[in-house]
A and B are shown apart, each in its own frame.
Chain A
Amino acid sequence: AQSVTQLGSHVSVSEGALVLLRCNYSSSVPPYLFWYVQYPNQGLQLLLKYTSAATLVKGINGFEAEFKKSETSFHLTKPSAHMSDAAEYFCAVSEGATDKLIFGTGTRLQVFP
């Protein structure tokens, strides 16, 4: 069965610093991978998705993620954190034909001034 692991339930950075949120997956077939963001008391919003077209995927709000098959990773990065980036971030992997997503447990990002 496919699974996804997010390392670090909480990440804190200073405003202007690099953001790195880690996601590792397990899959026996080429996966579809997603990053979602959730602001307090709201639903999840799609940040970006990997669907095998390119290994470096650019998303909204300046975020990007790189698919590394050898490391089974899909880490999310942003060069310079902004206060408005404070939220919870979820990595997800698709189960393929059924399209059902498997979500990680989430990483809460705090940004300090």
Chain B
Amino acid sequence: DGGITQSPKYLFRKEGQNVTLSCEQNLNHDAMYWYRQDPGQGLRLIYYSQIVNDFQKGDIAEGYSVSREKKESFPLTVTSAQKNPTAFYLCASSILTGNYGYTFGSGTRLTVV
């Protein structure tokens, strides 16, 4: 079945460490997105990519980095510069025409310990 796979489901990070969240899709979608979700704040866009080897900052990109070396993969690195990384992270993908909406992964919950 086609879909988006995020891993791991739960991730614990020590302060000062970088961690990478995985996002893989087999839907042949052109665009991929990373969102951060905090209680009461909805979804906030971190980064997005519409084509391989290109990506754009979203509303809250500071302290995060991404790469898009393959169409299927869009990993997110949470760096030590992110002051408050504890949150639920969602990856999504879409085609670029027709406005069919996004397909979401099941999310990764990151906790700083």
Interface of A is mostly: mixed
Check B107 for interface membership: any CB of A closer than 8 A.
yes
Minimum CB–CB distance from B70 to chain A (whole Å) comes to 20
B43–A49 touching, CB < 8 Å: no
Interface residues of B in 57-113 (CB under 8 A from A): 88, 90, 92, 94-97, 99-107, 109
B94–A99 touching, CB < 8 Å: yes
Check B42 for interface membership: any CB of A closer than 8 A.
yes
Q: Which of A32, A42, A99, A105 contacts B42 (CB 8 A)?
A: A105
Chain A, interface size category, equals 20 to 34
Number of interface residues, chain B, beta carbon within 8 A: 28
Measured CB to CB, the residues of B under 8 A from A are 4, 6, 31, 33, 40-43, 45, 48, 50, 88, 90, 92, 94-97, 99-107, 109
Q: Provide 16 A-B residue pairs closer than 8 Å at the C-beta atoms, listed in order of the A residue.
A: A9-B40, A36-B101, A36-B104, A44-B92, A44-B104, A45-B104, A46-B101, A49-B100, A49-B101, A90-B43, A94-B99, A100-B45, A100-B48, A101-B101, A105-B41, A105-B42
